[in-house]
């Protein structure tokens, strides 16, 4: 029985008796209503949790990103007048172009447990000292004698930022990746030979035969793998590819012997191609 009453100047009462309506239909109807209400409540609760979580997550990420930006923008220009600052140059010769990165670090404190505090050099406007040219170095496979001229703008750029008095003690690394790996070994050697012959004539950087090489896909993969292991500890979004490349060669600068870390630090040896 369903009863409805309303209070007006006079009291009205209206009722419906389930005559001719099977009881089983009423039971099913009640079940449907109860299930619908529960489903609506669960859906409302779920969407409320999702919305709150997304909003909170965005706020958290925004706060972390703002803290990161604060740290980055607060980085001062590299003090090139400080004689205790050391410098290093890495040229990344990729398939589409070549980039030069200039790094700096203060004198080591002598504690064997402490690593060098290597950072990317900043110019007077606090911008990273980076320059890119195109095309890739592999485009000179048939004219290796032109490679040193091709790479000279990058080295001139680095030479302008590194104090002149530091040139002779500043290591220069030229690391070639995918574009060079697909060339025949004879063409690779011709390109590297031109670099090793001509660069010391025009630049005073610390540059030996072992500082110019074509790194393997496996070696490059290890650098990227190590970089991701380290970035896992930083509450920011994964870096872009150019950041991974930069970190890879910064790692090769300060940790040239990566092999002992294979089994102890990285999770899988099958990285790279």
Q: Do the Cβ atoms of 125 and 77 come closer than 8 Å? A: yes
**CA 15 to CA 17: how far, in whole Å?**
7
Distance from chain centroid for Cα 146 = 33
Full DSSP string of 127-178: -B-EEEESS-GGGGTT-GGGHHHHHHHHHHHHHHHS-GGGGGG-BEEEEE-H
CB under 8 Å, gap of 24 or more: what pairs does 103-111 form?
103/250, 103/253, 104/78
pTM: 0.60
211-244 confidence digits (pLDDT tens): 999 998 888 777 677 666 555 544 444 444 444 4
> Reduced to 3 states, what is the DSSP secondary structure of residue 89?
strand
101-142 confidence digits (pLDDT tens): 999 999 988 898 888 888 999 999 999 999 999 999 999 999
140-177 confidence digits (pLDDT tens): 999 999 999 999 999 999 999 999 999 999 999 999 98
Q: Do the Cβ atoms of 206 and 169 come closer than 8 Å? A: yes
What is the CB neighbour count within 10 angstroms for residue 78? 23
**CA 102 to CA 119: how far, in whole Å?**
9
Mean of per-residue pLDDT scores for the chain? 78
Count of residues making up the chain: 273
Query: Is 220 an active-site residue?
Result: yes
Work out the angle at residue 201's Cα, subtended by the Cα atoms of residues 198 and 204, and round it to the nearest 5 degrees. 120
pLDDT surpassing 50 at residue 273:
no
- Which band of pLDDT confidence, cut at 50, 70 and 90, is reported for residue 189? very high
Active-site position among 76, 169, 185, 220: 220
């Amino acid at each position: 029985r369903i009863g409805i009453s309303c209070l007006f100047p006079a009291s009205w009462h209206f009722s419906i008796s389930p005559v001719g309506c099977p009881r089983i239909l009423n039971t099913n109807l009640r079940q449907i209503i109860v299930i619908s209400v529960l489903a609506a409540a669960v859906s409302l609760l779920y969407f409320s949790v999702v919305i709150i979580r997304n909003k909170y997550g965005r706020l958290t990420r925004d706060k972390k990103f703002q803290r990161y930006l604060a740290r980055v923008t607060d980085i001062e220009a590299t003090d090139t007048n400080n004689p205790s600052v050391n410098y290093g140059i890495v040229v990344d010769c990729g398939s589409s172009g070549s980039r030069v990165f200039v790094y700096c670090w203060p004198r080591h404190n002598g504690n064997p447990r402490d690593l060098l505090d290597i950072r990317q050099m900043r110019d007077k406007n606090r911008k990273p000292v980076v320059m890119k040219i195109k095309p890739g170095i592999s485009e000179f496979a048939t004219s290796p004698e032109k490679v040193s001229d091709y790479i000279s703008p990058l080295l001139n750029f680095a030479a302008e930022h590194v104090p002149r008095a530091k040139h002779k003690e500043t290591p220069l690394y030229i690391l070639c990746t995918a574009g060079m790996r697909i060339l025949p070994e004879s063409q690779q050697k011709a390109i590297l030979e031109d670099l090793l012959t001509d660069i010391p004539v025009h630049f005073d950087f610390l540059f030996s035969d072992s500082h110019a090489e074509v790194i393997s896909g496996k070696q490059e993969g290890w650098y990227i793998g190590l970089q991701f292991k380290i970035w896992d500890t930083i509450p920011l979004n994964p870096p872009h590819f150019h950041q991974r490349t930069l970190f890879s060669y910064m790692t090769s600068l300060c940790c040239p012997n990566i092999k002992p870390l294979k089994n102890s630090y990285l999770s899988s040896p099958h990285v790279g191609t």
